[in-house]
Chain A
Amino acid sequence: MSEFRPCVIIPCYNHAGSLPGVLASLAPTGLPVIIVDDASEPPVPAVPAVPAAVLLRHDVNQGKGGAVITGLREAARLGYTHALQIDADGQHDAAAVPALLEAARREPDALVSGAPLYDASAPASRRHGRLLTNAWVWLETLSFQIKDSMCGLRVYPLAATLALLDRRRLGRRMDFDVEILVRLFWDGVPARFVPVRVTYPAGGVSHFHPVRDNLRVSWMHTRLVLEMLPHLPALLRRKIGARTGARVSAPPAAAHWSDLSERRGAFGMRLLFLIYRLLGPRGVRPLLYPVTAVFWLTAGGARRCSRDYLRRVRERAAATGVALPPRLNSYRHLLRFGFALLTKIGAWRGDIPPESIRVTETPELRRQLDAHKGGIVFCPHFGNFELFRAVAEQRGVIANAVFHTRHAEKFNAFLREVAPESQLRIVPTDAFGPATAVSMQERLAAGEWVSIAPDRTAPDNRARTVGVEFLGATAQLPQGPFLLAAALQCPVFLLVAGTAVDTAADDAANAGANVPNASAGSAGKTPHAGRTAYFETLFDPLKIPRADRSAALQRAAQHFADRLEHHVLRSPLDWFNFFDFWAPPNTTGER
């Protein structure tokens, strides 16, 4: 492998107009060129301008893949070690060729592909189509390593490629580029990517047939996914191998919720939203099962956290004599999260009519509403607190949500994109300090509701936590929400919304103070699953007297944790904290 002898392959079908330009742009590289004329009419003439050029011709059109295969075999026969494939229509930027070759020289066993950076000439449909194809490929390879599978500008390592071509017959048309990439990946060939510019020349000739080629591509993906299953153990070993290799410098999985990669999450949400818009909520549902399966297999951190959590739930339920719902496992836990994301999107877009939610309230909440006074609503990451906005709308109240600044901006941008009509107002906060208290006070004075998540500690102020017993072990809750509630002297409610099991049903019976108050219109009818919103009064108000500060704070936090545990044990899969919730407090943090 010490020798690196690259050549260029250009598959050509009726590209006589653009071919000379492509050849001219390649001339500075000085690479030998193999042109495969896939039965063009008229035939591609010999190219005297490029002395080293080899011109091969098919008598019968075989498709782009067929032409590339002919070129690959010829390149191997001539003794080259690597072949750079480039399209004849001029869409690839030849300026990227040296970078691709350099990457191949550094890692001769890898396949090096261009990853397109689109300019304004790329149609949106093309970009969306590529996103869907990439999603298929991620499923087929169980990896995000393949950043782009359709770019026809790439360098093949010939030994591994010829071994694959000799072993099996690949799709010869538009399915070729994707299939060979996935199959080489299965053979253990790493995929590397170099950003390239791609333009769509105004007069460019594309041979993509919308119906025939889409069917062909769909069939290929179906085959690849089915064939992926026997590769599963090897693919997983590879993932685990890659992970243990990287463990030296990598932080432990999901150490703090805000450390979790947001990029992938945001990408996943965008993809889900795109599909939601294309297919509607019903259309997305069947897709969630395989997507969750992939996530379950690949997101080891989330899976481990789910298992650990479910173990604690079982032990706690056994200790307290609570009957758990059946079939609690980490796959169904992640699946429930997927369905909750759909509800989130629906809630943000206003697709969930406020009157379809059955709200159970308390006398204290009623009192506040009647007096046009606001309240603090604790919304833990349990169930779907996105229903909060719809519930507030149903009650004619403005809803605010306190968010950490770092997340507020991203969330706001996302919300504007998916739900420009959303009425939810975000209160950004840095540190739950006096400024947050002031802005909350203004909103409460105007009779608005302010929601706050008391189950996530602040990203940059982690030391200010309070330890509570939750599901049989000590967990840290942020002090901020409790301190704010105490300073503001207003009632605090717990909202449990959108859980699959209606955790309010048995509560209304055993907690005498709570008066169920089904909203007009849905009275007597069973509400949709996940369309219940249950308030309970946690503190009226929360008092943390000076003489007894830390003990009173701990009691308040423990009361919240006890009520949360009560609901969590009744619908365990609605718990959406996929990080180590019982991590010890970070003592190195700022005090």
Chain B
Amino acid sequence: MNPLHDEIKKLIIETLNLEGLRPEDIETEAPLFREGLGLDSIDALELGLALKNRYGVVLAEDSQETRRHFASVASLAEFVSSQKAPAAGTAAA
């Protein structure tokens, strides 16, 4: 179990006020938006702000890239750790 996965699931629940949902209810690989967890575009904005405030990640203006990062908990965790890694030269690719 990746502790970052759990952390991000908690962040999603807190930020988006997903009442009644527990971290283990969110599947790591399942889509976050529309089908799957069923998040929408306001959620994406709020989640973006929360990720920035918690981890200091830099989001690209490119909406395709952002969409890829925001696909699932797993892809978000990968994105966060790629930005956290000090020598992220190759990890980011």
Cβ distance A379 to chain B, nearest Cβ, rounded Å? 20
**A171-198 Cβ-contact flags toward B at 8 Å (1 or 0):** 0000000000000000000000000000
A394 close to chain B: CB less than 8 A: no
**Which residues of B are found within 8 Å of A91, using beta-carbon distances?**
none
B1 close to chain A: CB less than 8 A: no
A163 close to chain B: CB less than 8 A: no
**Which residues of A are found within 8 Å of B42, using beta-carbon distances?**
483, 486-487, 544, 549
- The chain A residue with its CB closest to the CB of B16 is A546
- Do A434 and B44 touch across chains, with their CB atoms under 8 A apart? yes
Of B45, B60, B61, the contact of A487 (CB 8 Å cutoff)? B45
CA distance A366 to B41 in the complex (A): 31
Given contacts A433-B66, A434-B49, contact A546 B59 (CB under 8 A): no
CA distance A488 to B70 in the complex (A): 19
- A/B interface sample: 29 pairs, CB < 8 A: A428-B61, A430-B62, A433-B48, A433-B59, A433-B61, A433-B66, A434-B44, A434-B45, A434-B47, A434-B49, A435-B48, A435-B59, A436-B61, A437-B46, A437-B49, A438-B49, A438-B59, A441-B49, A441-B52, A461-B63, A464-B41, A483-B45, A486-B42, A487-B42, A487-B45, A488-B49, A544-B42, A546-B16, A549-B42
B40 close to chain A: CB less than 8 A: yes
- Do A435 and B60 touch across chains, with their CB atoms under 8 A apart? yes
- The chain A residue with its CB closest to the CB of B46 is A487
- The chain B residue with its CB closest to the CB of A464 is B41
- The chain B residue with its CB closest to the CB of A590 is B63
**Which residues of B are found within 8 Å of A479, using beta-carbon distances?**
41
Contact residues on A (Cβ < 8 Å of other chain), bracket? 20 to 34
A484 close to chain B: CB less than 8 A: yes
**B55-75 Cβ-contact flags toward A at 8 Å (1 or 0):** 000011111001000100000
Cβ distance A499 to chain B, nearest Cβ, rounded Å? 32
**Which residues of B are found within 8 Å of A428, using beta-carbon distances?**
61
A437-B45, A437-B48, A438-B59 known; 16 new pairs, CB 8 Å cut-off, are A433-B61, A434-B47, A434-B51, A435-B48, A435-B59, A438-B49, A483-B41, A484-B45, A486-B42, A486-B45, A487-B46, A488-B45, A488-B49, A546-B16, A546-B17, A549-B40
A431 close to chain B: CB less than 8 A: yes
- Do B40 and A430 touch across chains, with their CB atoms under 8 A apart? no
A356 close to chain B: CB less than 8 A: no
Of B16, B40, B48, B61, the contact of A429 (CB 8 Å cutoff)? B61
Given contacts A433-B45, A487-B42, A487-B45, contact A438 B61 (CB under 8 A): no
CA distance A484 to B70 in the complex (A): 17
Cβ distance B63 to chain A, nearest Cβ, rounded Å? 4
Given contacts A464-B41, A544-B42, contact A433 B49 (CB under 8 A): no
Tell me which of B40, B42, B46, B60 has the highest count of chain A C-beta atoms within 10 A of its own C-beta.
B42
Chain B interface residue count, CB cutoff 8 Å, equals 20
Cβ distance A53 to chain B, nearest Cβ, rounded Å? 65
Given contacts A484-B45, A544-B42, contact A434 B70 (CB under 8 A): yes
CA distance A429 to B60 in the complex (A): 10
**Which residues of A are found within 8 Å of B49, using beta-carbon distances?**
434, 437-438, 441, 487-488
**Which residues of A are found within 8 Å of B66, using beta-carbon distances?**
433-435
Q: Which residues of A contact B (CB under 8 A)?
A: 405, 428-431, 433-438, 441, 461, 464, 479, 483-484, 486-488, 544, 546, 549
CA distance A461 to B17 in the complex (A): 28
- Do A435 and B61 touch across chains, with their CB atoms under 8 A apart? yes
- Do A405 and B61 touch across chains, with their CB atoms under 8 A apart? yes
Cβ distance A219 to chain B, nearest Cβ, rounded Å? 55
- The chain A residue with its CB closest to the CB of B63 is A431
- The chain A residue with its CB closest to the CB of B53 is A441
- Do B40 and A438 touch across chains, with their CB atoms under 8 A apart? no
Tell me which of B44, B52, B60, B61 has the highest count of chain A C-beta atoms within 10 A of its own C-beta.
B61
Q: Which 9 A-B pairs have the closest CB atoms?
A: A434-B48, A487-B45, A435-B59, A431-B63, A437-B45, A438-B52, A430-B61, A487-B46, A435-B61
**Which residues of A are found within 8 Å of B41, using beta-carbon distances?**
464, 479, 483
CA distance A546 to B51 in the complex (A): 20
CA distance A162 to B10 in the complex (A): 87
CA distance A338 to B59 in the complex (A): 40
CA distance A487 to B47 in the complex (A): 9
Cβ distance A432 to chain B, nearest Cβ, rounded Å? 8
**Which residues of A are found within 8 Å of B46, using beta-carbon distances?**
437, 487
CA distance A441 to B62 in the complex (A): 18
- The chain A residue with its CB closest to the CB of B65 is A435
**Which residues of B are found within 8 Å of A436, using beta-carbon distances?**
61
CA distance A585 to B62 in the complex (A): 24
Cβ distance A492 to chain B, nearest Cβ, rounded Å? 15
CA distance A464 to B40 in the complex (A): 12
CA distance A461 to B41 in the complex (A): 13
Cβ distance B77 to chain A, nearest Cβ, rounded Å? 16
Of B16, B17, B40, B59, the contact of A434 (CB 8 Å cutoff)? B59
**Which residues of A are found within 8 Å of B40, using beta-carbon distances?**
549
- The chain B residue with its CB closest to the CB of A461 is B63
- Do A438 and B48 touch across chains, with their CB atoms under 8 A apart? yes
CA distance A429 to B45 in the complex (A): 13
- Do B17 and A433 touch across chains, with their CB atoms under 8 A apart? no
Taking CB atoms and an 8 Å cut-off, the chain B residues in 2-21 that contact chain A are 16-17
Of B16, B44, B51, B52, the contact of A433 (CB 8 Å cutoff)? B44
CA distance A479 to B63 in the complex (A): 16
Cβ distance A437 to chain B, nearest Cβ, rounded Å? 4
**Which residues of B are found within 8 Å of A461, using beta-carbon distances?**
63
**Which residues of B are found within 8 Å of A464, using beta-carbon distances?**
41
CA distance A195 to B47 in the complex (A): 54
